[in-house]
Amino acid sequence: MSPQLRPARVEDASMLAKIWHEGWGDGHLGQVPDALVAARTSASFEERTLARIADMTVAVVDDTVAGFVIVDGDEVEQVYVDRAYRGRVVAPVLLAEAERQVAAAGHTRSWLAVAPGNLRARRFYERSGWVDAGGFTYEAEVAGGRFPVPCRRYEKQVAQSTPPSAAPTA
């Protein structure tokens, strides 16, 4: 069954926090500094979820929240899928929705950050047409500030740029 997309609701928060916490661990443990791992507790994901609930689009399969995406400007900031729904159509549907949101906001290009060792995610993005644009330091939000994290920047053109008007010829 194809997932249905909708805005996240407050009553989704506990499931979304669980998906985010588990997915973050699956993709980041052993890939990011220990200090960041220590900051990423279950409680921190519950707080982050409640703070970002209005920014989340969720994928629902058979009345179950299966994943979510958060877009911030031209950045696909978060894409997470419940373990039970990985390898199915949920992640491609969420990523396509994120690309749509970026384009709808007027951006022609989107980007996202991936931990260098998160090979499963990197392969997924590459299969979805994203290109590795190189390494950079991502400033991850933590309680009380930001934490520098070495990442790979992936980019994708999500809309055509509007060509300049042709100048009239004399």
| Structural domains of the chain sorted by starting position, each given as residue range(s) with its CATH number in brackets | 4-157 (3.40.630.30)
**Which pLDDT score is estimated for 72?**
96
Using 50, 70 and 90 to split pLDDT, how confident is the model at 4?
very high
pLDDT at 152 over 60: yes
pLDDT at 24 over 60: yes
CA gap 153, 62 in Å, rounded: 34
Whether 58 contacts 91, CB under 8 Å: no
The 10s digit of each residue's pLDDT in 28-86 is 888 888 888 888 889 989 999 999 999 999 999 999 999 999 999 999 999 999 999 99
Q: How many whole angstroms separate alpha carbon 58 and alpha carbon 17?
A: 12
Backbone angles phi, psi at 48, to 5 degrees: -65, -40
pLDDT of residue 169: 54
Beta strand 64-72 with 145-157: parallel, antiparallel or unpaired? unpaired
**Hey, is 124 helix, strand or coil?**
helix
Higher pLDDT, 35 or 153: 153
What is the pLDDT at residue 46? 94
Q: Please give the model's pTM, rounded to 2 decimal places.
A: 0.89
Report the candidate in 135, 131, 129 with the shortest Cα–Cα distance to residue 117: 135
Q: Per DSSP, which regions of 17-130 are E strands?
A: 56-61, 64-72, 75-81, 109-114
Q: What is the pLDDT of residues 98-129, one digit of tens each?
A: 999 999 999 999 999 999 999 999 999 999 99
pLDDT computed for residue 39 by the predictor: 85
Q: What is the pLDDT of residue 96?
A: 96
pLDDT of residue 34: 83
